[in-house]
Amino acid sequence: MAASASLQAQRGTFVNYGVQGGTPTYRNTMNILTQHGFHTEPVHMMISFGKNKTAWTNYADSELTKRLEKDIARFKSTLQLINKLECIFIFLPISKVLKWFGYSDEFMNEMVFPLTALFFGTGNQTPNVSCAIMARVFLDDDLRLFDYDTKRLLSQTPEMFAFPNLTEMYETIVSKSGAKYFRNRPVKSVRRDKGRVYVTDDKGCQETFDAIVFACDAENALNVLKDSSFMEEQTLGNVRYFNDLIVTHEDEAYMTELYELHKETDQYLVRTDSNDPTKIEMSFDLSNYQPQLKKIRDEKQHVFQTIFLDDENQDTWTYNQINPDKIMYKHWWRQFSHTWRHFAFSVPLMRYIQGRQKTFYAGAYTLVNTHEAAVMSGLAAAYRLGAPYPFDHDALARKQYNHYLMMIHGCPRRHGVNVDTVKCGAMAVFMGVFAVFSLCARVICDWWEGSAPARYSKVHLYTSITFLIGPKVVP
């Protein structure tokens, strides 16, 4: 979710909300922007966590980091163990693992959970996030944001980039794509039969296609599919979404009261609920982040955005403490939360629904909740339909894309006798075993929760085995 809203009346400009930007390792995203004539503005990530005794940052010492120095010092070795045994730890929530390893509640609630929520937008589901994902933040050679600091956990202000006007970006991409683009034409149903795809809009008009790409959330894809398979139901139906509220405002008094606000430096601010430290709220100082606001920040009051996570926990939100006269814009959005269940029961099965019945799925939910994953998913779907991959000149972009394609589509870029096909074959065997284990674990979990009898049957299980071992349909 990344979009723009007009602040013409209040600031004479626009504001981006949702995804604000990314890291320089988002090479596919950066290449698309460059290809369409856009440039990004560099920003250095300045983060303020907590308040008073629980306050800490990624650019200065604090009482909290000194108090938790023993936990911080040994957490690196825990992350290294998790990373080595990722195929096991991918199934385990970070809260459980940290408890098993004897970490203090303060370290978990004030440092690890807020950091995880910030990186992955997991909000109040953060304790259930797979611990393997957190390890990659520090240990993945291509994607890590920080080098681990055994004294302060974070001690760097890594370079990020801020998106340009997202409305202009989308319009430019659409206008240059050469494709027919239909606005305000919602899809009501999709039916697939005999190698054709029949799409009906909300007015009852039906169109026929050779293939379909669902470049939307998993919920809507599954909702409009009238002939969804057992594997599609298992894979897409496991992706869990939550309603969040983004409030763009200029209430500095609210920010000062609830956050450790360093007005001249901070871009990211994260706080935990003092009554329930597993509940997290996040804010941005956009006047220190978005370039069009940085230009006028000395002339005007700073613009902030506060994200209230999961509307089922509204009783814990501090939304009512924001001065209504200071609110500039409100926007509801719906995003998935990649808990351990996502990596256990959705990601391992994605490759077994890609290309089946001339159907492809694109979106961050196919892997991990980042903008780069979403962009790669679209490029992969296009590639499967015959389009060339456009960024072979960029080594890192190519490497990440090839890995995504092999992981989520089960396809190598090169065919014949070569390293890629050998890797793909080995991964196919591993992922096949992983998928069977995932399906069995899902049955056990659902039985434990009491939902299995209505969901599973011999026909369903036979269908799932057929999808796992049957041939793929590639247009």
Q: What is the predicted pLDDT for the residue at 440?
A: 78
Asked which of 129-133, 393-397, 447-451, 457-461 is least confident by mean pLDDT, the reply is 457-461
pLDDT value, residue 447: 67
pLDDT of residue 326: 96
Q: What pLDDT does 449 receive?
A: 62
pLDDT of residue 475: 36
Mean pLDDT of 246-263: 95
pLDDT at 460 over 60: no
pLDDT tens-digit series, residues 207-219: 999 999 999 999 9
pLDDT band at 469 (very low <50, low <70, confident <90, very high): very low
What confidence tier does 455 reach under pLDDT thresholds 50, 70, 90?
very low
Please choose, from the candidates 395, 365, 387, the residue with its C-alpha nearest in 3D space to the C-alpha of residue 31: 395
- At 423 the pLDDT is 77
| pLDDT the model gives residue 122 | 60
Flag whether pLDDT at 454 surpasses 50: no
pLDDT at 123 over 70: no
The mean pLDDT of 329-357, rounded to a whole number, is 88
More confident residue, 78 or 1: 78
Confidence of residue 448 (pLDDT cuts 50, 70, 90): low
Distance CA 464, CA 164 (A): 44
In tens, the pLDDT along 3-38 reads: 999 999 888 999 999 888 888 889 999 999 999 999
pLDDT in tens, 256-268: 999 999 998 999 9
% of the chain residues with pLDDT over 70:
92
pLDDT at 451: 55
pLDDT for 64-122, tens place per residue? Answer: 999 999 999 999 999 999 988 887 888 888 889 999 999 999 999 999 988 888 877 66
- Count of alpha carbons within 13 angstroms of residue 390, beta-carbon side: 16
Residue-level pLDDT at 165: 94
Other Cβ atoms closer than 10 A to 334: 13
Taking residues 118-142, report their average pLDDT. 76
Higher pLDDT, 94 or 323: 323
pLDDT for residue 72:
95
**pLDDT for position 457:** 46
Q: What pLDDT shows up at residue 143?
A: 65
Distance CA 150, CA 148 (A): 6
* DSSP string over 406-466: IIII---SS-SSSHHHHHHHHHHHHHHHHHHHHHHHHHHHHHHHT-HHHH--HHHHHHHHH
Task: Work out the pLDDT band at 344, boundaries 50, 70, 90.
Answer: confident
Alpha helices (H) in 125-197, listed in sequence order = 131-139, 166-177
| pLDDT confidence of residue 201 | 96
Residue 466 pLDDT grade (very low, low, confident, very high; cuts 50, 70, 90): very low
Q: Give the DSSP letter string of 347-385.
A: GGGGGGTTTGGGEEE-SGGGS-SSHHHHHHHHHHHHHHT
pLDDT tens sequence across 229-246: 989 998 999 998 889 999
Q: What is the pLDDT of residue 115?
A: 86
Condensed to tens digits (0 to 9), the pLDDT of residues 363-395 reads: 999 998 888 999 999 999 999 999 999 999 999
Tell me what percent of the residues of the chain surpass a pLDDT of 90: 57
Tens-place pLDDT, residues 410-429: 988 876 667 777 777 777 77
* Average pLDDT value over all residues in the chain: 87
